[in-house]
C-alpha cells in the first residue's frame, strides 16, 4: 500500500492497493474512500505528490499518469 498526502490540503490523501487508486477527503462529513477512474491501466505500483499538488501514479503496465 502506498499513501500520499496533498501538500495543499492536508486533509486529502490518496492510497493505492491491488484493487486500484483511492482518494479520501477528511473534510467531508462521511470520509469514505472513493475509487478513482484508472480504466485501461493495471494496478498502481508507486505514488508521488508534486509540490504543486499533482498526483503521479506509476502502474505495473509501465504507464505513469
Q: What is the pLDDT of residue 35?
A: 94
Structural domain contains residue 21: yes
pLDDT exceeds cutoff 80 at 1 = no
* 12 in a structural domain: yes
State in Å, rounded, how far the first CA of the chain is from the last one: 18
Q: How far is the CA of 13 from the CAs of 4, 20, 23, 33, 38, in angstroms?
A: 6, 14, 6, 10, 17
The count of structural domains within the chain is 1
User: For residue range 7-53, what is the model confidence (pLDDT) as tens digits?
Assistant: 888 899 999 988 899 999 998 888 899 999 988 888 888 999 888 87
Tell me the whole-structure pTM to 2 decimals. Answer: 0.81
Residue pair 22/34 in contact (Cβ under 8 Å)? The answer is yes
Residue 20 located in a structural domain: yes
Query: Which residue, 52, 10, 50, 3, is CA-closest to 27?
Result: 10
Q: Which domain, by its residues, includes 16?
A: 2-59
Amino acid at each position: 500500500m502506498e499513501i500520499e498526502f496533498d501538500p495543499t490540503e492536508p486533509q486529502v490523501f490518496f492510497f493505492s492497493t491491488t484493487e486500484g487508486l483511492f482518494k479520501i477527503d477528511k473534510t467531508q462529513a462521511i470520509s469514505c474512500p472513493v475509487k478513482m477512474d484508472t480504466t485501461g491501466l493495471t494496478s498502481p505500483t508507486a505514488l508521488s505528490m508534486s509540490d504543486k499538488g499533482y498526483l503521479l501514479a506509476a502502474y505495473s503496465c509501465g504507464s505513469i499518469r
